[in-house]
Amino acid sequence: MKPARLLFFIAVTLFLNACQNDSKQSSPDRLSQTLSDSTSVSGLGGDSVKLVKTAALQVKVRSVEEGVKTLSELTRQHGGMVYQQRFQAVEGERKELPMSTDSLLVITTVTPQASVTVRVPSAALETFLFDAAKLGYFTSTNELHIDDKSLAYLENNLKQKAREEQLYKKGSAKRDSTLPLQALQLKDEAIDQLITNKQIAADAAYSTVDLSLYQNTLVGKEMIANYTLSGYELSFGARLSQTLKDGWNALLNFLLLLLNFWAFALSGLLFYLAYRTWRKRAAQPPTQIATSEA
């Protein structure tokens, strides 16, 4: 029994030593991972670290419309918000085929596209990018940019505190004519520094992601009315009937026009008869004229 107990004690001791070594080896790794998320390249740490993350993703999807809906839902699931959304269908080639005198078959190629700008918590940025990339079957672009604003944040914070201290000193000092103007300038500068820091903190807390979705070109067919008026023509029979009617109406109008000049025609006829009579008398010899008179 003693050898068995001794072997069991040795096995337990070796197991505990192995666990202790693993914990010692994993502790620096965990520490380095924690430091990489909460430290800046400037050497700052803790709340002073302000890493502004931006990303861009371009994905080819089956349907842009469904992809935009899923993307909006995915953004809400990660605690973010859609700030801008734009959907467009870029028209490519277009062809018109006349089907009849009053209708056309229009064939067009259309490429649906969408651009979406979202802001998600920086802690969930990587997970959001991975989930967003799964919306499509091909990723064209995947970009991630980190801008370290820690020093700028620290600079603005120190300047703000310095101006507040200066304002406190100005308030406790003796009053003169220049103090109100200087105090107002210091207040404005302190407010500007505070607003700038608020913006940096907001950008560090929420990352901006620009997403582009596109899909294969679609071919659409549509029957529309013929917008070219020269294409609208009557049938041959209708045009022949209309031509006969127009000719008959023209003849009647001409006759009516002639009837409007009946007085001139009658005057012309009387003048012509008188002229013929005068010509006949003028052509007879004088003897015949005298005999006829006797």
Query: pLDDT in tens for each of the 294 residues of the chain?
Result: 444 444 444 444 544 554 454 444 443 343 334 334 555 555 555 566 788 899 999 999 999 999 999 999 999 999 999 999 999 998 889 999 988 878 899 999 999 999 999 999 999 999 999 999 999 899 888 888 888 877 777 777 777 777 677 666 655 555 554 556 666 676 777 777 778 878 888 888 999 999 999 999 999 999 998 887 776 777 778 888 888 999 999 988 988 887 788 778 788 888 888 887 887 777 776 655 455 544
Q: Rounded distance, CA 275 to CA 282, Å?
A: 10
Render 65-131 in DSSP notation, one character per residue: HHHHHHHHHHHHHTT-EEEEEEEEEEEEEEEEEEEETTEEEEEEEEEEEEEEEEEEEGGGHHHHHHH
Q: Is position 196 within any domain?
A: no
Residue 199 burial by Cβ neighbours in a 10 Å radius (0-12, 13-18, 19+): middle
In a domain, 198, yes or no: no
Domain total of the chain: 1
Spatial distance between the Cα atoms of 37 and 48, rounded to a whole number of angstroms: 12
Is residue 38 in a domain?
Answer: no
Does residue 3 belong to any structural domain of this protein?
no
pLDDT value of residue 25? 41
**What is the distance in angstroms between the CA of the first residue and the CA of the last residue of the chain?**
196
Q: How high is the pLDDT of residue 264? A: 80
This prediction has a pTM of: 0.57
**Is residue 74 assigned to a domain?**
yes
Can you give the pLDDT at residue 13?
52
Classify 164 as helix, strand or coil: helix
Residue 122: inside a domain, yes or no?
Answer: yes
Q: Give domain status of residue 269, yes or no.
A: no
DSSP state of 58: E
Amino acid letter at 165? E
Domain range for residue 68? 47-149+203-225
Within-domain flag for 99: yes
